[in-house]
A and B are shown apart, each in its own frame.
Chain A
Amino acid sequence: EAGVTQFPSHSVIEKGQTVTLRCDPISGHDNLYWYRRVMGKEIKFLLHFVKESKQDESGMPNNRFLAERTGGTYSTLKVQPAELEDSGVYFCASSQDTGGLSYNEQFFGPGTRLTVL
């Protein structure tokens, strides 16, 4: 079974440009999450989709970030316009039903390393 995949693995852009990151979750996983790690610090939550709906977007830093999950399959995260502080590694994760009282493992992709110059 394929794991979570992310594209591209690396992206180098200039300040003010637009970048779109893609995440393909594990087949059958309704839950999709975006996280990012900036400057080697902690991994921070950005948002959570359940199928195509945004369940929680409390971690989105500002309105330059737009996430979509049309059809409830793959997801894209667009940064427009990119700023220097957006540099970091963006991780996508997916899981089955949240399970309420139990924990369902979130499987992480390899990440996209974004560098804004």
Chain B
Amino acid sequence: DQQVKQNSPSLSVQEGRISILNCDYTNSMFDYFLWYKKYPAEGPTFLISISSIKDKNEDGRFTVFLNKSAKHLSLHIVPSQPGDSAVYFCAARNNAGNMLTFGGGTRLMVKP
């Protein structure tokens, strides 16, 4: 039973355009949602987070939107750059502990 799902295994975007990565979850006990970015042969690197009491958090080119009623969050990257090419993992924290539950990842390719 996968509690966090990323239904798009890959996404290709032109440089300068917007990248939108989506994530769905099922567990109402999640209180924080996060996006991690992963390059090959490296560990995941924290990108941005959002508390369950908010609906938007912005950090430079990265914005995360949370729709609690739909149990859906998305990461917007604008403008996209070739260096953004990586695998992006959506993750969620259960308010009963600090473990993270990850989605399967979406591979983003930004073409010059």
> Is B44 an interface position by the 8 A CB rule?
yes
| B83 CB to nearest A CB, Å | 19
Encoded as 1 (CB less than 8 Å from any A CB) or 0, chain B from 63 to 93 comes to 0000000000000000000000000010101
The smallest C-beta distance from A101 to any residue of chain B, in angstroms, reads: 8
Complex: A4 Cα to B4 Cα, angstroms: 25
B14 within 8 A of A: no
Kindly list chain A residues whose C-beta atoms are within 8 Å of the C-beta of B93.
Answer: 103
Query: What is the count of residue pairs linking A and B with beta-carbon distances less than 8 angstroms?
Result: 59
The main secondary structure of chain B at its interface with chain A is strand
> Which residue of chain A has its CB nearest to the CB of B6?
A42
Asked whether B99 lies within 8 Å of A43 as measured between CB atoms, the reply is no
CA distance A22 to B90 in the complex (A): 26
Cβ-closest chain B residue relative to A47: B99
Q: A42-B2, A42-B104, A111-B43 are in contact. Are A103 and B97 (CB under 8 A)?
A: no
Beta-carbon contact of A55 and B97 below 8 Å: yes
Contact status A107-B105, CB under 8 Å: no
A33-B100, A43-B100 are known; give 11 further A-B pairs, CB within 8 A: A42-B4, A45-B99, A45-B100, A45-B101, A91-B43, A105-B46, A107-B46, A108-B36, A109-B43, A111-B42, A111-B43
Residues of A participating in the B interface, judged by any CB pair closer than 8 Å: 4, 31, 33, 35, 41-45, 48, 55-56, 58-59, 91, 93, 95, 98, 103-111
